[in-house]
Amino acid sequence: MTYKTFGCNLILLLNRESETSLQLLILKVLYLLFGNPSTAEYFYTNDLHVLVDVILRNLIDLPHDSAAANALRHTYLRVLYPILMHSQISKPPHYKREELLRLLHLLVSSGNHFAPVDETTVRLVNRCTSVQWLQPPAATAEHGSTNGNGTTNSPVDHVANGQKEYARRALGMTVQGSSESSTSVLEIAGHTAQPGVQTPSMSKVAQ
């Protein structure tokens, strides 16, 4: 394996892996790569696009009624933030901006019938949507992009329409900066799972 194929192999493994412990190991490597300015643009742009597709699909596939799925969702979101912030997709043309916003909106609006979305997910989603290129266009803000209290709405509020259709399509997809919190670093490092445990999946349940 060379440095040119290492990234491709990481993406391939993450795309195919169904064991939680191995997904976590891969995500930890990705977190280190994208959190370091010297390696944040390590991946070829096309490979980076595939990685974003895999992360979108895996996030949408995690159920909301599982503690294990919630913990894995948090790790994916912690990895997604430095990708959005530091990688090539932070520069125009921004890859799948609308799809990312729909997904982030879906994550904080779904939950289950008995409990709201957990606070950690909400906090991590808000961090992702704080990335500058995911903010609404300036023209939208100038025309009063505020809620009833006079405060600016989150970008995810602009993409609620079509979230169910996006979820259906995403399930069938093929495929550290100064604002990074120390909590995320510790959570990424400390999150482990027993070998052999399969990742919860809504698509498998549906089958």
- Residue-wise pLDDT for 162-184, tens only, equals 444 444 444 333 334 444 555 55
Q: Is the pLDDT of residue 196 over 80?
A: no
Instruction: For 205, list phi and psi in degrees, rounded to 5.
Output: -65, -40
Q: Is the pLDDT of residue 40 over 90?
A: yes
Interatomic CA distance for residues 11 and 55, integer angstroms: 10
Domain segments of the chain as ranges: 1-134
Question: Tell me, what's the pLDDT at 4?
Answer: 72
Q: Is the pLDDT of residue 185 over 50?
A: yes
Instruction: For 17, list phi and psi in degrees, rounded to 5.
Output: -75, 130
- Residue-wise pLDDT for 75-119, tens only, equals 999 999 999 999 999 999 999 999 999 999 989 886 554 567 889
- Residue-wise pLDDT for 117-163, tens only, equals 889 999 999 999 999 999 887 634 554 444 544 444 555 544 444 44
Stated pTM of the model: 0.72
Question: Tell me, what's the pLDDT at 178?
Answer: 41
Closest by CA to 181, choosing from 115, 104, 110, 126, is 126
